[in-house]
Amino acid sequence: MPICKEKRNYLFEMRVHFIAIGGSAMHNLAIALSKKAYTVSGSDDEIFEPAKSHLKAYGLLPEKEGWDADKINENIDAVILGMHAKEDNPELKKAKALGLKIYSYPEFLYELSKNKIRIVVGGSHGKTTITAMILHALQNLNIETDYMVGAKLEGFEVMVKTDESAKYMVLEGDEYLASTLDRRPKFHLYKPNIAIINGIAWDHVNVFPTFENYVEQFKIFADKIEPDGTLIYCDEDENVRKIASNARKDIRLLPYKALDYVIENGDTVLSYKGKKYTMQVFGHHNMINMHAAMLACECIGVKNEDFLHAMTSFKGASKRLELLKKSSCRAVFTDFAHSPSKLKATIAAVKEQYPNRQLLACMELHTFSSLSRAFLQQYKTCMDRADIAAVYFDRHAIELKRLADLNCNEVAKAFGKNGLRVFTDKTELVEFIKANTKDNTNILMMSSGNFGGIDLKALAEALIEEK
């Protein structure tokens, strides 16, 4: 555990300050520590919803936005540094000058969990869903666990939980950098006992400039597995198979593919040992995710039948093929998909589940990678299975990321789909969606952002009411 100054009782008087407390994982860790009776403070130059409301509910919202070096003093036991904070941050500079212990949030999470059995879920896609599936099963089976997950889950108050009594900790293993001071990928810090690699598709090009460099991070992750640990790996991914084949000899290898399933009357049904399980989530990629989660649970003693029974009530994580609204002949879904592999898998899932419906698929270019001209070519053919396709990007997002401007023609050419429309005006995008939503149509909105502020729930209501 992080070392506290001897003059204070560790459990009840540890003082922690968060620099960039408004981050998704950061604010949830702050809440988790406050619930452990830590004294928590924090700052940020901008805090958005839902972090603002969550912090306010727990009395942790800073009085004002901005950095304040006066908040840093020698009585602080640990500073937790978010990726959003830069090296010249005045609070960080003062913390360094005082010689305070500075952690990234994954480093701190490891300190909290180093005496537990750590299940770490890695991969370019499916991390959040697999983590959510594991947590849903363990909760349903009354198996206590700590966790960190990247999305709001039904039945879970916060996204981070840490408790001294829990034997396990389930961690979503993000490959992005830990902090401005620690340039290691986050999942390199967790040292899993049980690791999952679900698939590799180039991402974060601002940090990993080549695909080979990106793959190397997963090789390192596999090598960080604790002695005599387990690697659960996707056997449908060639790059993952190569990593597994070169893993240390003391690591147990468990390959997985999609569980066997059929679609019956619009439902996804799994068969296992003669029993059928009707699922609420669907898509080939989710059956891959489910098998990974099942093997992870099996490693800690959960019977497969018990796991699958628990999965029948699993509705998915927020923005992972989340159903916003449906009628007898229309449905509106939202998904976090933004990279080429995620777009392709999500579109395929909806087409497979609803083969007789037209699919109107919209995606937003929002991340640094997706808005990079050099990366755009990676999107070729990824939206081909959609009947109607649209791409949106916000020029303000390009400016914030200090990238070269894009034009609509080059974006359309990169995707290579006939008839694909490109929008930079959210109002025009909404009008396009409404004009093309007929009976027997599904609408799929995919983004890691928010389409320039479009209220997707209100849009879904309007599209369904138009029937």
Q: Measured between alpha carbons, how far is residue 1 from residues 100, 176, 185, 212 in Å?
A: 16, 24, 21, 35
Distance CA 200, CA 434 (A): 35
Residue 317 is predicted with a pLDDT of: 86
Q: Tokens for 393, please give them.
A: 């990007």
Q: Measured between alpha carbons, how far is residue 43 from residues 64, 85, 263 in Å?
A: 8, 10, 49
Q: Measured between alpha carbons, how far is residue 77 from residues 4, 73, 110, 327, 430 in Å?
A: 6, 9, 17, 54, 50
If the chain, 467 residues long, is cut into consecutive pieces of 10 residues, what is the mean pLDDT of each piece?
Answer: 46 83 94 93 93 95 96 96 93 97 96 96 95 97 95 86 94 93 95 97 87 96 98 97 97 97 93 94 96 98 98 92 94 94 95 96 94 93 97 92 92 96 97 96 95 95 81
Residue 11 is predicted with a pLDDT of: 43
Eight-state DSSP code of residue 123? S
Residue 65 is predicted with a pLDDT of: 95
The count of other CB atoms within 10 Å of the CB of residue 269 is 14
Give the predicted TM-score (pTM) of the model: 0.89
Q: Go through the chain and tell me how many residues it has.
A: 467
What the chain holds in terms of domains, given with CATH numbers, is: 10-100 (3.40.50.720), 108-311 (3.40.1190.10), 322-465 (3.90.190.20)
Q: Tokens for 188, please give them.
A: 């390199």
Return the C-alpha torsion angle 14, 189, 119, 34, nearest 10: 20
Residue 466 is predicted with a pLDDT of: 61
DSSP codes of every residue in 213-230: HHHHHHHHHHHTSPTT-E
Contact 125, 287 (CB under 8 A): no
Residue 4 is predicted with a pLDDT of: 46
Strand pairing report for 160-161 and 102-104: unpaired
Indicate left, alpha or beta for 259 from its phi (over 0: left) and psi (-120 to 50: alpha). Answer: beta
Question: Letter for the amino acid at 444?
Answer: L
DSSP codes of every residue in 152-169: --TT-SSSEE--TT-SEE
